[in-house]
Amino acid sequence: MNSIITRSFGGLTRPYYIRNFLFSLIFPTVFIFISSFGKESLPGGLLALVLIFMAVSCLLYPYSRFVYESVVNYIVGRNMFFVNAALMLVVKFMTMFLCWYLAIFIAPLGLAYLFFRHRPTGAN
């Protein structure tokens, strides 16, 4: 069991995971900031569910982003695109939000890939 966790969850480098984890904190921060101005609060059960969803999404976001970047790198390759910086930032933010929001569904693909990529090669 430890081998499974180490090979999949430990598959990303620490700086990569920390960097993407810090970026993932943008979305709960914005949600909490905006909801603090509301006149009504969420019921206790729904609030707990939303907080759990946000925590899981933040923890899985680096793996989700890894899948996204791997797919984009495979499709685009070494090509360069020169576009407006404002447009690129908007697109980047949208893809970050989609990867965060769908991390529960996308991250298992990345975890499975990392698990098989870090398996031992050769016979014992």
The answer to whether position 36 is within a domain reads yes
The answer to whether position 123 is within a domain reads no
Please provide the distance, in angstroms rounded to a whole number, between the alpha carbons at the two ends of the chain: 19
The answer to whether position 109 is within a domain reads yes
The string of pLDDT tens digits covering residues 57-107 is 999 999 999 999 999 999 998 888 899 999 999 999 999 999 999 999 999
Give the CA distances from residue 88 to residues 22, 42, 78, in Å, rounded to whole numbers and listed in that order.
20, 34, 17
Q: What is the mean pLDDT of the chain?
A: 86
Expressed as residue numbers, the domain containing 63 is 2-117
The answer to whether position 94 is within a domain reads yes
Total domains present in the chain: 1
The answer to whether position 29 is within a domain reads yes
The answer to whether position 69 is within a domain reads yes
Q: What is the pTM of this model?
A: 0.83
The answer to whether position 124 is within a domain reads no
